Amino acid sequence: MSVFTIKNLEKSFGDHEVLKDINMTIDEGEVVVIIGPSGSGKSTFLRCLNLLETPTKGEIYYKETLINSKTDARRLRQDVGMVFQRFNLFPMFTVLKNVMYAPMEIKNISKKKAEEIARDLLVKVGLEDFADDYPATLSGGQQQRVAIARALAMQPSMLLFDEPTSALDPELVNDVLVVMKNLAKAGMTMAVVTHEMGFARDVADRVIFMDKGYIIEEGKPADIFSHPKNERTQIFLQRVL
Ligand code: ADP
Ligand code: MG
């Protein structure tokens, strides 16, 4: 079943057309990696999927239901979690409480149950020993892994990642990618904007190349990376590989 079906999506800011005639689907369990130059509309596209942006035209179906201004966006975002470049953890909460907070506040899960879920997730992201620490004492990579655990605590059916490793020192990138890779292996549906081409090659089921608001090319990673058909894809890949 498709998690998202996107038809003729367009998004403008004023008279600046940022997304132009985007058509695609994201299937259950699929890992879609979106690549492309800065300013090509990748973030705006992800943000349309959980209604952080309102599309100007076109249709987005989430599990076969049209989402629009009448959709309960908060509810949608519980189901379609997002991990940002900047992790925005709550600085005054411990790591454990950061992960427990939303399930308790938004889903009314009991404290005991929330703690159980949170501790399990901290094991998953390799941070079980940091439960009582505060975010500021952690490295950027550790903070991003807490942010992933926090997103997972809502038991989303899908996760959106917007350049989750771009703000990290190079030596911290891999630990975050490993966590994401494990999620992918466990069957999580994911849409990932990243410049980590190694990750795209290894983990993506499908790679989408965007430029100037258009999907220029999409396909299996082996095809996109080894035999890009479009000249703009070729030029972009020459620069980043
Ligand atoms: P990418 O993530 O690929 O770098 P973005 O989706 O962030 O691209 O941005 C695409 C274009 O849309 C850019 O030109 C950017 O300046 C513009 N843009 C993004 N968000 C806004 C906004 N809230 N208001 C006006 N312009 C925006
Ligand atoms: Mg972006």
The per-residue pLDDT for range 88-123, each reduced to its tens digit, is 999 999 999 999 999 999 999 999 999 999 999 999
Query: Whose CA is closest to atom 1 on ligand 1?
Result: 39
Closest residue to atom 22 of ligand 1, CA basis: 13
Q: Per residue in 10-45, pLDDT tens?
A: 999 999 999 999 999 999 999 999 999 999 999 999
> What was the pLDDT predicted at 1?
83
Those residues whose C-beta lies under 8 Å from the C-beta of residue 105, and which sit 6 or more positions away, are none
Strands annotated E in the chain: 2-13, 16-27, 31-35, 57-62, 65-67, 80-83, 158-162, 189-193, 206-211, 214-219
Buried b (16+ CB within 10 A) or exposed e, 95-127: bbbbbbbbbbeeeebeeeebbebbbebbebbeb
Which ipTM was obtained for this model?
0.99
Of ligand 1's atoms, which has the minimum distance to the CA of residue 41? 6
Residue range 158-193, pLDDT digits in tens: 999 999 999 999 999 999 999 999 999 999 999 999
Under 8 Å between Cβ of 41 and 11? yes
Nearest atom in ligand 1 to the alpha carbon of residue 14 is 25
